[in-house]
Structure 1
Amino acid sequence: MRSALKWAGGKKKVVHEIASLLPKRGKTRLVEPFVGGGSVFLNLDFDEYLLIDMNKDLINLFNIIKNQPAAFIADAQRFFTGDNNDSEKYYQLRTQFNQSTDPYERSLLFLYLNRHGYNGLCRYNKSGGYNVPFGRYKHPYFPNAELEYFSEKAQRATFIQGDFETAFTQLNVSDVVYCDPPYSPINPTSNFTAYAGNSFTDEDQRRLVDYAKIAQKRNIPTLISNHYVDFTRELYKGATKKKLFQVQRSISQKGQGRIKVQEILALYK
């Protein structure tokens, strides 16, 4: 099942790779400290889910879809008209989003901006303003079926806004953890880690591994995704198991920037 959101770095196409390495025996709850678009949650079957992300707008949206699906779907669909698929209208609604303090209004506009904005990006400036440009799509897709499915599955999920540490402080022995942090850059020109208005540094990457090792000592397995580069090759050298595979990634706005890159799954178990 696809996510209702377009999401740069989304995991729908590699869920099978993740599932092949993610331990499930005796584990009833999936914990994701970086839930993002939610593709892993949507496509793996657990009794419960604890889903966390730094992005407040994302978590508000997910909780509203969970708790008010019919009203939200009806209200959101009104934004998906030909008149709104226009650069002038897009920037007007983006300004409205940035000025709004109402969680429900922001959630409606967040979905609109996500489906009409450029290339599945979710990006904020240092002042917290959403600044993704207009995407120029002929017919932006309204994800009705995806929203309904998400709402149904979300009844087994808890969504919390916060740093990934929040997830690791709430673990129990029946949990398994999947981490999809902002990736280490392939090269300096492709360094984009500020998807929630804050950067994710090399020190944050090390801190995540430290938490994975602490969970490992409690018999709680943690699986981490990342680009396979010199930094992560060294970072994950102590992992119990590693798996490498290639994925299609857009690393620039130009067509030739869409190349296959190598990713790593590092399991601490």
Structure 2
Amino acid sequence: MKPFVKWAGGKTQLLGEINQYLPKNFDRLVEPFVGGGALFLSLEHDKVWINDLNKELINLYQQVKRNPKKLMTIVDTFKDEYQLDPKGYYYLRRKHDRDEVLYANLSPAFKASRTLFLNKTNFNGLYRVNSRDRFNTPWGQKHKVPEIYNQEELLKISSYLKQIKITSTNYYSMLEGIDQGDFVYLDPPYDKLNKNTFTSYTIPDFGEAEQRKLKEFCDHLNDRGIKFLQSNHNTPLIQELYQNYKIVIVNAKRNINANGEKRNGVEEVLIMNYGE
């Protein structure tokens, strides 16, 4: 299966590289930063725990799991209305979270439908929030009405999610729930290549202090004999922090930049506490 949302830093293009380094056997896959979920959806493992601090994203997963037909019905309504005034309608739906009272009274299914709709009609599928934790990615579909979902694929994913544990909490609080035999795949907001590197999936931003805290989390896993694999940028900080672990350098092309000519390949790393 493939992701039903676009997500900055999604791992679809790197699955071939990642799959080369996965442990041969593990009881459960745990993803503390699930994002678009390319890995767990591709593996279709029978025991999975996915998590993300982004509550809008997790609500979308929950509604695909519980109410896929209702979600699709609402999205269809959005799509019909969108065709009358694409740009205006996009910003009409985007501004819902500016009114806290209104937004609090929206149903989980409506919120999830909004999240999916905005994801497929905004700029490059980028989920970005401002300093007040409000979604602020601009409109991005200027030429045609995009496919918001594929019914057959979404229903298949819904059926699969019914056997999966889904949470929205700080990754560090997951430590006590991670067991022997689990394999943990970490795809956090990456270390910044420069001051403009995107990490604003949620508030607060994921800076150097959080990268160091994540290293402590990995050390805890390692001390307990739990295998982990982490994706990140190949930066001096990451090389320093994980110098005692196995590091493999891979190349990835990122598609967030508005200028296509600047969507260059960047070096990423796969960090793991197992293997030769």
Kept in 2, the 8 Å contact 1:19–1:44? The answer is no
- Answer whether contact 2:251 2:265 (CA < 8 A) is retained: yes
SS of 1:125's partner is coil
Cα offsets for 1:140-182 (capped at 9, x unmatched) = 1122233223212212211111111132221001210000000
**TM-score, structure 1 normalization:** 0.93
Superposition pairs of residues 74-85 of structure 1, within 5 angstroms:
74-81=73-80, 83=83
Instruction: Report the equivalent of 2:17.
Output: 17
| Residue 151 in structure 1 maps to residue 158 in structure 2 | yes
1:196-245 residue CA offsets vs partner (Å, 9 max, x unmatched): 13200112111112111211122210111001121211122111x22111
SS in 2 for 1:78: helix
2:42 matched to which residue of 1? 43
CA distance in structure 1 between the aligned counterparts of 2:190 and 2:198, rounded to whole angstroms: 8
Whole-Å Cα distance in 2 between the matches of residues 84 and 18 of structure 1?
A: 43
- Structure 1 position 78, deviation (Å): 2.2
CA contact (8 A) 1:66 1:150 kept: yes
Poorly superposed stretches of 4+, deviation over 3 Å:
none
One-letter amino acid matched to 2:262 = G
Aligned to 1:112: 117
| Number of equivalences | 266
Specify the SS of the correspondent of 2:2: coil
- Checking the alignment, whether the CA contact within 8 Å between 1:24 and 1:176 is kept in structure 2 is no
- TM-aligned CA distance change 1:265 to 1:4, over 3 Å: same
Q: What residue in structure 2 maps to residue 94 of structure 1? A: 94
Deviation of 1:250 after TM superposition, in Å, equals: 3.3
What root-mean-square deviation, in Å, do the aligned CA atoms of Structure 1 and Structure 2 show? 1.7
Task: Decide whether aligned partners of structure 1 residues 84 and 185 sit closer, same or farther in structure 2, where only a CA change above 3 A counts.
Answer: farther
Q: Report sequence identity in percent.
A: 33
> 1:73-222 alignment to 2 at 5 Å?
73-81=72-80, 83=83, 86-99=86-99, 100-101=103-104, 102=106, 103-137=108-142, 138-144=144-150, 145-189=152-196, 191-222=197-228
Distance change in 2, residues 1:71/1:29 (3 Å): same
Runs of 5+ in structure 2 lacking a partner? none
Residue identity matched to 2:72: I
How has the CA–CA distance of structure 1 residues 209 and 85 changed in structure 2, closer, same or farther, with 3 Å as cutoff? farther
Unaligned runs of 5+ in 1: none
Q: 1:218 to 1:174 in 2, by over 3 A?
A: same
Query: Which residue identity does 1:249 align to in structure 2?
Result: R
Q: Is it true that 1:235 corresponds to 2:241 in the alignment?
A: yes
Question: Partner letter of residue 42 of structure 1?
Answer: L
Q: TM-score, normalised by structure 2?
A: 0.91
Give yes or no for contact 2:74–2:110 (8 Å, CA) kept in 1.
no
Matched-pair contact (CA < 8 Å) for 1:213–1:268? no
Separation in 2, partners of 1:61, 1:250: 23
